[in-house]
């Protein structure tokens, strides 16, 4: 590993550890008492100048927690929405310092470190750096402003300086000690990110008969995709959410999408079946799908029913369109979901559920490319684990390449994991089985469907964080990717009130 990569990794781990150590220091480890830390939900738009004077519009979003007064840390992502590079995505982490400058005027400086690429952009191995300086005008619960930034891919050919616009919304992250798992607490607030439900999604796009891929070939069948979505209700029937997905069959490996959505839902048949509709707008691309600059719009109708108290299934159909590209398609999908919480303006009994957030670094050993060559592939990632029992959890993970000459390769995974304690000193072991989608960067993940199995060992670090070392295997269902994987993860456990 180069000195630059070591410095970036050390900075990321230090910042994450600092944030959670600070927040966790207020907790009585065995108390279900709810604590809070301020958060900043940030969005931005800017236009990058690529080689040969090409312009690309890029949007970004981040969820930053206040580690100490004025210091914010958290996950962030960026992607193309205008131009010719639909499918360009990066994911990583950001650290920012925000200080008041004059009355309602704040100044904020920070740096984003991430991995990704796509859209045939010249990103090299995929490592992206984005230092920025913002001027923000504060209102009650949000701020708007302008941003000056540099976007650079050190081992690629993108180095752009630009101005942009930014929007930041203030909120609170509600949490408790992870040792209070299973305890009841009376509260009127949602915990963690505040979503009421999460669902895994599997479905098909059916492109129009006249739609051609970027190679000029007509689509002759459906394109399979998989992903997940999260929703939060703002009234009994109105909700907003986020959905993401990626190709798993049909020869479009490398295609991915991320959209924000707004929907309505009402009881239908004796309240056992609910029906609803939603619209979504966001970005997508890759896999030779003709999305132009990347902007996507969706609209759909669905029906859902509970199969247990907290588990539901849904069927949905609708249409998707590229806003400035040729892609247009009908779609159908099935969702299997878990209710996490309920909207409530009154104090009610909630149960503390254990979660872990984690930053990780992975290496795929001798990952095969479409041309037949094999090279090690380095990825950085973010993981969220939601515990279903004291030792069993549901895991959602996203990883993107930052070295290994495969910029644009990303993988999204979801599955189950389990762990067991080995000693009172904090040693533990566990295993995970995950499935999902992968592609891009020339890696031979034909179709996109991918599985990863991992075993790991680790140690609790003073009850506030956990260090894990894992080994396993990642394999494409139809492609030649079949590599040993090594994983180093720093995770942070906490409790959240929920259903």
Q: Are residues 200 and 335 in the same domain?
A: yes
Task: Examine the fold and report which residue of 287, 315, 339 is the final residue of a domain before the chain moves on.
Answer: 339
Domain boundary among 147, 178, 209: 178
Is there a domain that residue 187 lies in?
no
pLDDT-based confidence at residue 21 (cuts at 50, 70, 90): very low
Is 9's pLDDT higher than 70? no
Predicted local distance difference test score (pLDDT) of residue 345: 65
pLDDT for position 102:
87
* pTM score: 0.90
pLDDT tens figures, 233-292: 999 899 999 999 999 998 889 999 999 999 999 998 877 899 999 999 999 999 999 999
Same domain, 307 and 398: no
Within this chain, do residues 328 and 361 fall inside the same structural domain, yes or no? no
pLDDT higher than threshold 60 for residue 442: yes
> Do 281 and 373 fall into the same domain?
no
* pLDDT at residue 348 is higher than 90: no
Least Cα distance to 137 among 172, 96, 97, 165 occurs for 165
Does residue 184 fall inside a structural domain? no
Domain assignment of residue 26, yes or no: yes
- Give the total number of structural domains in the chain: 3
Task: Write the pLDDT tens digit of every residue in 30-89.
Answer: 666 788 889 999 999 999 999 999 999 999 999 999 988 999 999 999 999 999 999 999
Q: What is the CATH number of the domain that holds 300?
A: 2.40.160.20
Domain contains 183: no
Three-state DSSP class for residue 234: coil
Q: Three-class SS of residue 3?
A: helix
42 found inside a domain? yes
Residues 14-24, mean pLDDT to the nearest whole number: 47
Do 161 and 262 reside in the same domain of the chain?
A: no
| Residues 303 and 410 occupy one common structural domain | no
Same domain, residue pair 356 and 332: no
Q: With pLDDT > 90 as the criterion, what percentage of the chain qualifies?
A: 73
pLDDT of residue 269: 80
Q: Note whether 279 and 404 are same-domain residues.
A: no
190 falls within a domain? no
Tell me the C-alpha distance between 62 and 74, whole Å. 7
Same domain as 168, residue 33: yes
274 shares a domain with 385: no
Q: Are residues 327 and 360 in the same domain?
A: no
Q: What is the mean pLDDT of the chain?
A: 90
Same domain, 357 and 324: no
Domain C-terminal end among 178, 213, 246: 178
| Residue 226 pLDDT grade (very low, low, confident, very high; cuts 50, 70, 90) | very high
Percent of the chain with pLDDT over 70: 93
Read off the DSSP letter of residue 214. Answer: T
User: In terms of DSSP H, where are the helices of 326-453?
Assistant: none
Domain of residue 407 covers: 348-498
Name every residue whose Cβ is closer than 8 Å to that of residue 261 and which is 6 or more positions away in sequence. 229, 231, 240, 241, 242, 243, 278, 279, 280, 281, 298
Q: 175-199 pLDDT, tens per residue?
A: 888 888 888 888 888 888 889 999 9
């Amino acid at each position: 590993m180069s000195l630059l990569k070591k410095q970036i990794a050390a900075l990321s781990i230090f910042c994450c550890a600092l944030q959670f150590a600070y927040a966790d220091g207020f907790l009585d480890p065995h108390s279900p008492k709810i604590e809070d830390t301020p958060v900043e939900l940030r969005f931005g738009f800017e236009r990058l100048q690529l080689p040969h004077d090409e312009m690309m519009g890029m949007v970004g979003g981040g969820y930053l927690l206040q580690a100490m007064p004025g210091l914010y840390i958290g996950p962030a992502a960026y992607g193309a929405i205008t131009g010719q590079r639909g499918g360009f995505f990066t994911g990583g982490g950001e650290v920012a310092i925000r200080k008041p400058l004059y009355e309602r005027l704040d100044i904020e400086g920070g740096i984003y470190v991430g991995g990704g690429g796509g859209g045939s952009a010249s990103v090299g191995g995929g490592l992206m750096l984005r230092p920025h300086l913002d001027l923000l005008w504060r209102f009650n619960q949000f701020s708007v402003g302008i941003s000056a930034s540099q976007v650079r891919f050190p081992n690629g050919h993108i180095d752009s300086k630009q101005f942009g616009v930014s929007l930041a919304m203030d909120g609170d992250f509600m949490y408790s000690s992870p040792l209070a798992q299973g305890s009841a607490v009376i509260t009127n607030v949602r915990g963690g990110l505040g979503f009421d439900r999460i669902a895994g999604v599997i479905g098909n796009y059916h492109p129009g008969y006249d739609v051609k891929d970027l190679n000029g070939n007509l689509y002759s069948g459906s394109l399979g995709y998989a992903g997940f979505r999260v929703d939060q209700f703002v009234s009994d029937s109105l909700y907003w959410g986020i959905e993401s997905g990626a190709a798993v069959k049909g020869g479009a490996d490398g295609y991915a999408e991320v959209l924000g959505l707004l929907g309505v839902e009402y009881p239908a048949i004796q309240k056992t079946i609910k029906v609803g509709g939603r619209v979504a707008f966001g970005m997508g691309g890759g896999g030779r799908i003709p999305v132009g600059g990347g902007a996507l719009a969706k609209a759909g109708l669905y029906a859902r029913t509970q199969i247990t108290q907290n588990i539901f299934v849904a069927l949905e159909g609708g249409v998707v369109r590229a806003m400035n590209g040729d892609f247009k398609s009908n779609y159908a999908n099935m969702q299997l979901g878990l209710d996490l919480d309920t909207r409530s303006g009154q104090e009610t009994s909630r149960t503390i559920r254990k979660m872990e957030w984690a930053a990780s670094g992975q290496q795929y050993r001798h990952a095969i490319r479409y041309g037949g060559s094999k090279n090690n592939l380095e990825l950085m990632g973010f993981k969220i684990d939601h515990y279903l029992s004291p030792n069993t959890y549901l895991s959602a993970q996203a990883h993107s390449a930052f070295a290994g000459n495969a910029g644009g390769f990303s993988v999204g995974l979801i599955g189950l994991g389990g762990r067991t304690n080995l000693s009172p000193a904090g040693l533990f072991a566990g295993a995970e089985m995950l499935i999902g989608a992968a592609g891009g960067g020339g890696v031979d993940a034909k179709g996109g469907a991918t599985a990863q199995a991992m075993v790991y060992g680790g140690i609790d670090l003073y009850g506030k964080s956990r260090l894990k070392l894992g080994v396993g295997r990642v394999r494409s269902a139809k492609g030649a990717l079949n590599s040993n994987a090594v994983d180093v993860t720093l995770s942070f456990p906490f409790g959240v009130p929920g259903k």
